[in-house]
Amino acid sequence: MSTKAIVCRCEDVTLADIQHTLEIGYRTVEEVKRYTGLGTGPCEGKECMAQAARLCLMALRTDGPDKNDAVVEPFTSRPPVQPAPLGIFARGDEEP
């Protein structure tokens, strides 16, 4: 077994993956998500998004003093926030 520090457990995204993403210049949580797949698994970012934001913020702060009060934004929260069986949406008609 090789050694890895995991940030996103669902998609096996490692700290090294995120550091690489930041090294090539990306700085937003959305970009980290799109480049690494972080936050796209069954937990939808519940375990990794805050960590990714923290790492982006640290990278922004090392970019220079003008970035000291840079803000980070979460990636878009899309329905459903928890996995659900499609069957519950399949019937359009309501109870009378």
- List interacting residues with another protein (CB under 8 A): 1-7, 9-12, 14-17, 35, 37, 41-44, 46-47, 49-51, 53-54, 57, 71-74, 77-84, 87-95
C-alpha angle 61/43/39, rounded to 5°? Answer: 35
Q: At its nearest, how many Å lie between another protein and the CB of residue 22?
A: 14
- Do the Cβ atoms of 39 and 75 come closer than 8 Å? yes
20-43 in b/e burial notation, b at 16+ Cβ within 10 A? Answer: ebbeeebbebbbbbebbebbbbeb
Q: Please, which residue, 62 or 82, has the CB nearer to another protein? A: 82
Q: Please, which residue, 9 or 67, has the CB nearer to another protein? A: 9
Q: At its nearest, how many Å lie between another protein and the CB of residue 25?
A: 14
